[in-house]
Amino acid sequence: MILALDASTTGCSVALFKDGKVEFSMASRIDRSAAENLTLMIGQALRFSGITFSDLQAVAVARGPGSYTGLRIAVSTAKGLAFGLGIPLISFGTLPALCYQLSFTEGIDLLCPMIDARRMEVFCGFYDAREKTEKVPVEAVLVQPDSFREILETKRVLFFGEGSAKCREALAHPNACFADAVHYPSAEAACALVWAKWEQAEFEDLVAFEPFYLKEYMFKHK
């Protein structure tokens, strides 16, 4: 059994995977709730599934990009569990995991999950719509009318995720499509990614591993 954690953006989520399938999942969409809810949700997940910490084979965590505070909390929790239980740590990217929330849509070439990075900036990447493989690495982009024009000239792209709504008006190219529903990062969606890493023994160094912030944290000044 693998425990997965995600606190990349709004709220947090946990999931349990067994034999490549989701056994249990739950999420809180209350903003900045990871500090008080994440450990409680882990306990609830274990109790509901009828297992104990000793039954866990690995801990997986979203490495980012996303909320500085949320990522720190989830990664610290995951590292603490992995160290204390003597089990491996697996990481997964927030954006590629988001892609697994969508089924293949005919006519769409690329998926572009977007996470809000304040104002008109987003964290985003481009992935093959069918295979979910990375085509353009994750980056922080200040979205303007000519953003992604070179890609949109030849590919039909589905933009989605909590950061995509604010980009709808700016990205008016005919090949730019937008999901109707809001998709939030979720530990449950990372099942395929996490299980593939488990089978390949692709584990993180518990001492050296850090979240993938993508950009420096900006402290607010009063």
Within-domain flag for 168: yes
Within-domain flag for 221: no
Q: Which residues contact 130 (CB under 8 A, 6 or more apart)?
A: 104
State how many domains the chain has: 2
DSSP the chain: -EEEEE-SSSSEEEEEEETTEEEEEEEE-STT-HHHHHHHHHHHHHHHHT--GGG--EEEEEEESS-HHHHHHHHHHHHHHHHHHT--EEEEEHHHHHHTTS---TT--EEEEEEE-STTEEEEEEEETTT--EEEEEEEEE--TTTTHHHHTT--EEEESTTSGGGTTT---TTEEE-SS-----SGGGHHHHHHHHHTT----TTT-----SS-------
Q: Please check whether residues 110 and 161 belong to one and the same domain.
A: yes
Within-domain flag for 193: yes
Within-domain flag for 165: yes
Q: Please check whether residues 136 and 76 belong to one and the same domain.
A: no
Q: Please check whether residues 90 and 192 belong to one and the same domain.
A: yes
Within-domain flag for 149: yes
Q: Please check whether residues 110 and 90 belong to one and the same domain.
A: no
pTM: 0.92
What does the alpha-carbon distance between residue 107 and residue 157 come to, in Å, rounded to a whole number?
A: 9
Predicted confidence at residue 216, as pLDDT, reads 57
Task: Compute CA 163 distance to the chain's CA centroid, rounded to the nearest angstrom.
Answer: 13
Q: Write out the chain's pLDDT in tens, 222 residues.
A: 999 999 999 889 999 999 999 999 999 988 777 777 999 999 999 999 999 999 999 999 999 999 999 999 999 999 999 999 999 999 999 999 999 999 888 999 999 999 999 888 999 999 999 999 999 999 999 999 999 999 999 999 999 999 999 999 999 999 999 999 999 999 999 999 999 999 999 999 999 999 999 875 443 333
Give residue-wise pLDDT tens across range 80-134.
999 999 999 999 999 999 999 998 889 999 999 999 998 889 999 999 999 999 9
Within-domain flag for 84: yes
Predicted confidence at residue 218, as pLDDT, reads 40
Q: Please check whether residues 90 and 194 belong to one and the same domain.
A: yes
Residue type, 158: L
Give residue-wise pLDDT tens across range 71-82.
999 999 999 999
Q: Please check whether residues 106 and 166 belong to one and the same domain.
A: yes
Predicted confidence at residue 30, as pLDDT, reads 81
Q: Please check whether residues 14 and 61 belong to one and the same domain.
A: yes
Residues forming a β-bridge with 27? 13
Domain residue limits at 116: 102-178
Q: Please check whether residues 26 and 91 belong to one and the same domain.
A: yes
The two three-digit tokens of residue 123, written as one number: 């964290």
Predicted confidence at residue 31, as pLDDT, reads 76
**CATH code where residue 145 lies:** 3.30.420.40
Q: Please check whether residues 109 and 70 belong to one and the same domain.
A: no
Q: Please check whether residues 19 and 88 belong to one and the same domain.
A: yes
Q: Please check whether residues 83 and 131 belong to one and the same domain.
A: no
Q: Please check whether residues 89 and 190 belong to one and the same domain.
A: yes
Within-domain flag for 78: yes
Predicted confidence at residue 104, as pLDDT, reads 84
